[in-house]
Amino acid sequence: METDQENKQIEREATRNLYVLWFGVFMAGMGFSAIMPFLPLYISDLGNFSKPVLNLLSSTTFAITFVMTAIISPVWGKLADKYGRRPMILRASLGMAIVIALMAFVTNVWQLMLLRALQGLCGGFISNSTALIATQTPRDKAGRALGILVTGQTAGNLLGPLLGGVIAAAVGYRGSFLMTGALLFLAFLLCVFFVTESHKPGEAAAKSDKPADPHPFRHLDNKSLIFGLFLTTTVIQIVNTGINPIMALFVQEINHTNWSTTLLVGIIAALPGVSTIIAAPRFGKLGDKIGPQYLLIGGFIFAFCVQVPTAFVSSVFLLMVFRFLIGVSDATMLPQINSLLTKSVPSEMISRIFAYNQSFSSIGNVIGPLVGGVVATMFGYRGVFLSGALFILVNFLHFMTTTKEIRK
């Protein structure tokens, strides 16, 4: 009887953690993306720059956050595996709240760039939230829980630019930083009072007579699979962000309607996130039933079949359909990556694994726009979609070679 009550209590705590961290992950995603609509305008207010210099400063200021996140995430992951995921979640949420609020008070672009770098260094909220949910959820239900968490990040990334633009229009650029910081501080308070961690990963190591292994990765039997999953995360982000430099121009080129190009670009940019939010929990649950590796394979094939015809669309409404479907493919793949990572490593290493996955995601966020810009310059806008399909195909072939054992 006591065991049943304990299990129910653990289940209630896990459910509460999931929904509190969903809100936190949503706010973290929004904090990373809310600045996008007005970043160049804010920088232009901080000095008198020529257009080429303004473009360079805007790109650098935006990218530096992801570069710092890629560098520092493994460090936070290692500390989380040693001292617990909850302390890292609290550190990240409070750090981001303070840093983003301070952006309201900068007087030059170099201060803004420094704070954007610090924002990246304060990262780790999403990866440690994922690790906490992964370790507190039964493995046969991990896909659904991680799928729900994915929708939080996706919703934040999707709504961030919209909310950031609306807030900036209402209270100014500086006011938007203060409001975003306040919302992140709210996420911090919710995590303080409502997120619990029943088992800290360092406790098992403290009770063990064996010294801690300084190189635990070398003992993993499936290192090639794990690296393949990291690579897949990078490719997904490259494909998703590679169209950012050209989307508005491509929509303008094929827009033969009376609709505003600006409005259409906003709708098209939002559609992949909308479909991911709708589909991710459902595909996560399906992955728990049939095996995440099979659903991930289906996601590769579906993404390739969507990406190729996108290059040949001549109707803006057909482009909407394909962008909606690419979000479905993301929903097919992202929860399965997290689920496979959870099942491929011991629990005392999960924070490090998700931290590395976050690093690879950030690398994709940096590489994607660069690749998109170069490909568009050399082969035109449609070449960007074909290059994305090529990335997917190569990644798929690599994945098939690294999952032979688990598929048997």
Residue 21: partners with Cβ closer than 8 Å, 6 or more residues away: 89, 129, 132, 133, 149, 152, 191, 195
- CATH number (domain holding residue 76): 1.20.1250.20
Last residue of a domain, one of 196, 211, 232: 196
d(CA 244, CA 3): 52
Amino acid occupying residue 236: I
Q: Count Cβ neighbours within 10 Å for each residue of 320-356 and write b for 16 or more, e otherwise.
A: bebbbbbbbbbbbbbbbbbbbbbbbbebbbbbbbbbb
Whether residue 373 is contained in a domain is answered as yes
Tell me what percent of the residues of the chain surpass a pLDDT of 90: 24
Amino acid occupying residue 335: P
d(CA 98, CA 121): 13
d(CA 169, CA 13): 40
Q: What is the pLDDT of residue 1?
A: 47
Residues 151 and 55 in one domain: yes
Q: Whole domain around residue 327: which residue ranges?
A: 219-403
Residues 93 and 158 in one domain: yes
Judge whether 179 and 171 are in contact, CB under 8 Å.
yes
Query: Which residue reads 């989380």 in tokens?
Result: 80
- The pLDDT-based confidence of 216 (bands split at 50, 70, 90) is low
d(CA 92, CA 110): 23
Tokens of 234: 């990078």
- The pLDDT-based confidence of 157 (bands split at 50, 70, 90) is confident
Angle at 131 between CA 126 and CA 134, to 5 degrees: 125
Query: Which residue reads 């550190």 in tokens?
Result: 91
d(CA 64, CA 121): 10
d(CA 199, CA 208): 15
| 3-class DSSP state of 408 | coil
Whether residue 213 is contained in a domain is answered as no
Say if residue 302's pLDDT is above 90: yes
Tell me what percent of the residues of the chain surpass a pLDDT of 70: 90
Say if residue 380's pLDDT is above 60: yes
d(CA 119, CA 64): 9
Say if residue 392's pLDDT is above 90: yes
- The pLDDT-based confidence of 200 (bands split at 50, 70, 90) is low
Average pLDDT over residues 155-166: 76
Average pLDDT over residues 17-32: 85
Q: What is the pLDDT of residue 388?
A: 94
d(CA 402, CA 230): 12
- The pLDDT-based confidence of 235 (bands split at 50, 70, 90) is very high
Residues 147 and 233 in one domain: no
| Ordered alpha helix ranges (H), 217-315 | 223-241, 247-254, 261-290, 292-310
Radius of gyration of the chain from its Cα atoms, rounded to whole angstroms: 21
Residue 52: partners with Cβ closer than 8 Å, 6 or more residues away: none
Average pLDDT over residues 252-264: 83
Average pLDDT over residues 153-171: 77
Phi, psi of 215 (to 5 degrees): -130, 65
* First and final C-alpha spacing in the chain: 40
Q: What is the pLDDT of residue 37?
A: 65
150-164, 283-297, 343-357: lowest mean pLDDT where? 150-164
Whether residue 251 is contained in a domain is answered as yes
Angle at 82 between CA 78 and CA 88, to 5 degrees: 70
327-331, 355-359, 384-388, 404-408: lowest mean pLDDT where? 404-408
Structure confidence by residue, pLDDT tens digits, 92-103: 999 999 999 999
Q: What is the mean pLDDT of the chain?
A: 84
d(CA 2, CA 19): 26
Residues 276 and 178 in one domain: no
Last residue of a domain, one of 128, 162, 196: 196
Max Cα distance, the chain (Å): 72
Residues 168 and 247 in one domain: no
Whether residue 235 is contained in a domain is answered as yes
Number of domains into which the chain is organized: 2
d(CA 290, CA 288): 6
Whether residue 211 is contained in a domain is answered as no
Structure confidence by residue, pLDDT tens digits, 67-86: 999 899 888 888 888 888 89
Say if residue 12's pLDDT is above 80: no
Say if residue 218's pLDDT is above 70: no
Give 11 or 118, the one with higher predicted confidence. Answer: 118
Whether residue 123 is contained in a domain is answered as yes
Give 22 or 36, the one with higher predicted confidence. Answer: 22
Q: What is the pLDDT of residue 219?
A: 64
Indicate the DSSP class of residue 214.
S
- Predicted model pTM: 0.81
Judge whether 320 and 268 are in contact, CB under 8 Å.
yes
Return the sign of the alpha-carbon dihedral for residues 189, 192, 197, 198.
Answer: negative
